[in-house]
Amino acid sequence: LAVLMSGLISLHPTFPSLATWEARRGRTDAGSRSDMTDVLEAKLTKRGRFRGDRKWTISQSGTCGRGVFATCDIASGELVFADLPILHGPKQSCDLVACTSCSDITRPLRKCSRNCHLPFCSERCENDESHNKECCYLRSLNLTEEEWSPHIFRALTLIRSLLMTDDDREVVKHLHANRGKQVDIQVSSLLSLLGNKLTETDVSWVRHCSGVLDGTAFEIELEDSANSLKGLFPLSALMNHNCVPNTRHFYTDRADGYRMVVVASRFIPRGEQIFTSYCPLLWGTSLRRTFLLHTKHFQCECERCQDASEFGTNLQAVKCSCEKIMLPEDPTNFNSEWKCEDCGGLRSAKHNIMVQKSLQNPNELDKFLPEGNYIRIQMKIDEVFKKTKRMHLEDITEEELRNISHDCIMILKLIVQLKLGNTRFKGRLCERLSKVYREMNRKGVHMDSQVEHDAVTGARVYNLPK
């Protein structure tokens, strides 16, 4: 929070609203919406991922420009759609360099024997069919690198954008592209690498793709790896953000093309817009909106963001000097004063940011932040997952097991209160709760009836399939 917001506290709140940002995406008439739907349907059909009984359509949203809407009732847990990436590759800002084909970061890397200057972990990966086109292109540029190049590796996603088929380009042309400093930096980095080897048309196309990736790309999480990729999914790119989304998603493996599988996290009635979230769901409003402003260049104004208490959870509340809680008077204004619910005392947003920024000692948290503050919630989550990471929990004391069980139940109730539905995080948390409860049973740990009831309920009701 301190890092993201410290640069904003002196600014006048004139940042673009979600409606303004969506307007920049281009408000389309009925004809162009139909064209967009047709283009995407043709794209998905060609890739073998589209069925005639689709559950979505692209339509105009009252305040959010273009969006994806349900064409039928969709039950919680039901597949909404599966989307293959039209473009994927390393993030340009990534610190880790991995194998170009399999993304493995644990094995030694070597330069492609055909001299395209990309790194590979094995001959098998180097000879992967997916590498052929980019290898031929890079060799045609006659680059002077002697070994494999981390710079070429980090620019690979934009390089791949130059190799798109005409069908893929037609889809990407329909997607919103951000403009700004970050896009300029990425394009300049590629130009410094490839120099005068790109035509004006190439540069224009790369700039558009960079803007599209900046605004609509998703992070592809790789199983059992600290590495991740950036992926552009054509239909998913049209889903709008909401801090109370009605879907969750996961990714299949490389063999299946890194498919993004979107599933309803709660019941979605026909005609309702299909939302995703661009940020972590258990962050407080100020942090979520600041993150969205910096990364997606708009301010969210959803129902949750407009409610200072975030549906009664008081997730971003801080303590007043009278020990009661303070919340912003206007949660959609970064410079709003914060008011105590009891004594009516006021405090500036800048003061609250500086207080949280100075909290270096965990023992100071209780003095300034109530137990339900999102910073303390995140600390509980980190502790739960750290202590239950091992397969067996024999070394965890009975008191620690009780504390973990209590924290799991508290966080699960918070998820319910925030109306977040059956999220992937909820499922992961319930798996840990089930593991803890089994160990408590094995050790014969006594729990009061309410805690035991909550643990059983959490394990049975909230535990989700992958």
Note down pLDDT in tens along the chain; length 466 residues: 444 444 444 333 344 444 444 444 443 444 455 566 677 666 666 655 555 578 998 888 776 678 899 999 999 999 999 988 999 999 887 778 899 999 998 899 999 999 899 999 999 999 999 999 999 999 998 877 667 888 899 999 999 999 999 989 988 988 889 888 889 989 998 988 887 788 999 999 999 999 999 989 999 988 766 788 999 999 999 999 999 999 999 999 888 889 999 999 999 999 999 999 999 999 999 999 999 998 888 889 999 999 999 999 999 999 999 999 999 999 999 899 999 999 999 999 888 877 777 676 667 788 889 999 999 999 999 999 999 987 678 888 889 998 999 999 999 999 999 999 999 999 899 889 888 988 888 888 876 555 555 555 554 544 443 3
- Check whether residue 162 and residue 31 sit in a common domain: no
- Check whether residue 216 and residue 242 sit in a common domain: no
Is 211 contained in some domain?
A: yes
* Nearest in space to 227 (alpha carbons), one of 421, 90, 374: 90
Distance of CA 374 to the CA centre of its chain: 18
Is 255 contained in some domain?
A: yes
- Check whether residue 206 and residue 333 sit in a common domain: no
Our count of domains for the chain comes to 4
Q: What was the pLDDT predicted at 453?
A: 58
- 79 contact partners, CB below 8 Å, separation of at least 6: 261, 262, 263
**Owner of token pair 């299949």:** 252
Beta-strand pair 325-328/79-83: unpaired
- 215 contact partners, CB below 8 Å, separation of at least 6: 176, 177, 178, 296, 297
Q: What was the pLDDT predicted at 254?
A: 87
Work out the number of other CB atoms within 10 angstroms of the CB of residue 253.
10
Q: What was the pLDDT predicted at 449?
A: 58
- Check whether residue 296 and residue 332 sit in a common domain: yes
Is 166 contained in some domain?
A: yes
DSSP secondary structure, 385-436, as one string: HHHT-SS--TTS-HHHHHHHHHHHHHHHHHHHHTT--S-HHHHHHHHHHHHH
Q: What was the pLDDT predicted at 27?
A: 39
* Whole-Å CA distances, 25 to 99, 160, 173, 184, 294: 35, 24, 12, 19, 17
Is 409 contained in some domain?
A: yes
User: How many whole angstroms separate alpha carbon 264 and alpha carbon 249?
Assistant: 9
Is 70 contained in some domain?
A: yes
- Check whether residue 319 and residue 333 sit in a common domain: yes
Residue 353 token pair: 């940011």
- Check whether residue 237 and residue 305 sit in a common domain: no
Q: Do the beta carbons of residue 80 and residue 261 sit within 8 Å?
A: no
- Check whether residue 249 and residue 327 sit in a common domain: no
Is 13 contained in some domain?
A: no
Is 341 contained in some domain?
A: yes
Q: What was the pLDDT predicted at 128?
A: 92
Q: What was the pLDDT predicted at 142?
A: 84
Q: What was the pLDDT predicted at 16?
A: 45
Residue 86 token pair: 């039209």
Specify the 3-state DSSP secondary structure of 263. strand
- Check whether residue 292 and residue 252 sit in a common domain: no
For residue 25, the enclosing domain spans 19-84+233-276
Last residue of a domain, one of 336, 368, 400: 368
Q: What was the pLDDT predicted at 411?
A: 95
Is 123 contained in some domain?
A: no
User: How many whole angstroms separate alpha carbon 420 and alpha carbon 417?
Assistant: 8
CATH assignment of the domain containing 26:
2.170.270.10
Q: For the sheet with 79-83, list strands across it.
A: 79-83, 260-264, 247-251
User: How many whole angstroms separate alpha carbon 81 and alpha carbon 333?
Assistant: 36
pTM (predicted TM-score): 0.86
**Owner of token pair 């299946």:** 256
350-354 long-range contacts, CB within 8 A, separation 24+: 350/9, 350/10, 352/318, 352/326, 353/1, 353/2, 353/5, 353/6, 353/9
Percentages (nearest 5) of helix, strand, coil residues in the chain: 45, 15, 45
Q: For the sheet with 338-340, list strands across it.
A: 318-319, 325-328, 338-340, 346-347
- Check whether residue 36 and residue 65 sit in a common domain: yes
Q: What was the pLDDT predicted at 49?
A: 56
* Nearest in space to 135 (alpha carbons), one of 96, 184, 103, 101: 101
- Check whether residue 190 and residue 259 sit in a common domain: no
431-435 long-range contacts, CB within 8 A, separation 24+: 431/463, 432/384, 432/385, 432/388, 432/404, 432/408, 433/405, 433/408, 433/409, 433/458, 433/459, 433/462, 434/458, 434/459, 434/463, 435/388, 435/393
- Check whether residue 157 and residue 207 sit in a common domain: yes
- Check whether residue 242 and residue 329 sit in a common domain: no
- 156 contact partners, CB below 8 Å, separation of at least 6: 89, 90, 100, 118, 134
How long is the chain?
A: 466
